[in-house]
Chain A
Amino acid sequence: MKQYKKVLLAIATALFMSAPAFAETLRIGTEGAYPPFNLIDSSGEVVGFDLDIAHALCEEMKVDCTVVTSDWDGIIPALNNNKFDFLVASMSITDERKQAVDFTNPYYTNKLQFVAPKKSDFKTDEASLKGKTIGAQRATIAGQWLEDNMADVIEIRLYDTQENAYLDMNSGRIDGVLADNFVQYEWLQSEAGSNFEFKGEPVFDNDQIGIAVRKDDPLRERLNTALQAIIDNGSYENINAKYFPFSIY
């Protein structure tokens, strides 16, 4: 019995002593259903622009990082319930969200733009949009922009994922989709998007995307420093070029 306790004590001591030898590990939170920013590839790994940025930040901060995915509309509670440490999921900085979490400086800027079938006569002024059915993802800036500005003009359909909105535009249930223009750009490049195109100018172009952390978490300042560092040393530009032929900062 004594022997047994001694062994346990030895193991506990060993574990305790060796703990500082491990590098700090942070958990990156993301959605995994928002190509090309975050998506799950064929091997089951979460990849994309957001992840490249997050890993570059981890490298800059000299920490090990693991990735945790969460459904979009429960992603802020997941952060606040400590399921992960910082959220890199193409999240727009809004006043409403700032009440729940803190944001770093923006790591890219986003615009909202309509996409509709090439053959359809789709104009984006209010008079032409009247009576149309427009889809957007729930709990996104696009969805809220439609509700705030177009609720009386158009019929709004809110989807749980962006893919489902495209699926319904493809089958003709909705006339157009409003979403972040990078997301739309990526989809238009794909085979499914080949019959569709951007319509009109961006309707909203002051959408800044930040990394969310829990309220008053000192991690925010470390992320800001690291973000500035990867912008200065050119790794941000390299990542940008991997995904878009234009700068999105």
Chain B
Amino acid sequence: MILAEKWELIERFLPQLWDGTLVTLQLVGLAVLIGLFVAIPLGLARASRHWYIRALPYSYIFFFRGTPLLLQLFLVYYGISQFQAVRDSFLWPYLREPFWCALITMTMHTAAYIAEILRGAIQAVPPGEVEAARALGMSKRQALQHIILPRAIRIGLPAYGNEVILMLKASAVVYTVTMMDIMGVIRTINSRTYEYELFFMVAGVMYLIITLVFTQLFRLVERWLKVDASRQSR
């Protein structure tokens, strides 16, 4: 009886909950994809033997790993919008929108973590394989392209999958800049229904389901890339 009422209440808000899920998926999906592309040069530079190449990505990673995502989001959204120069610039049509601010911040944040994963993975490629590639006459670039990066991607993939799930959960802060993601929708529903326990539980279940889907997807990709096999052959 009571349970039926609660379900009816959830059903009433299903369209909003679905919209919120789409916003969350969009933000996280785009951020971890673009973040990966930003992270590749960062991670490569970070693994360099020369300090002057390492320095810039090091500071970038140091800043984005060392400060909370919420703070970075506020800096991007409320901070830089206070400067008239920013508001007059060609960037304002983008920075004006909470979606772009959230996407930019999340991408820069996750890129720092992915770069660090990539650095670890590159350094974990067995030196013998790199030497073998060079001995076969591959140039440095060829070795990077055909041996080091494909190996590093397999080594780093499980950690990347983990980072995607961390970003999914971290994305819950974007409601503070008026985004209607899962948390934004849930908090707006709460402010009307006062069914806090119920809808926070609903939010928890939604995040869990998305996490489940993500982990299964990454398991498939890992199987497809034979991550296990490459590990055994070491």
Taking beta carbons and an 8 Å cutoff, which residues of A are in contact with B? 73-74, 76-77, 96-97, 99-100, 135, 138-139, 143-144, 157-160, 164, 167-168, 170-173
Contact = CB atoms under 8 A, between A and B. Distances in A.
A171 B194 CA distance: 32
A73 B194 contact: no
Interface residues of B, number: 18
A172 B196 contact: no
A167 B196 contact: no
A96 B192 contact: yes
Given A96-B192, A96-B194, A172-B96, A159 B178 contact: yes
A157 B184 CA distance: 11
A173 B81 contact: yes
Contacts of A164: 78
A94 to B, nearest CB: 10
B176 interface: yes
A158 B194 contact: no
B87 A171 contact: yes
A170 to B, nearest CB: 8
Contacts of A168: 78, 81, 178
A170 B193 CA distance: 32
B82 interface: yes
A171 B178 CA distance: 15
B191 A138 contact: yes
B188 interface: yes
Nearest to A97: B194
B190 interface: yes
A168 to B, nearest CB: 8
Nearest to B97: A173
A158 B192 CA distance: 13
A89 B69 CA distance: 30
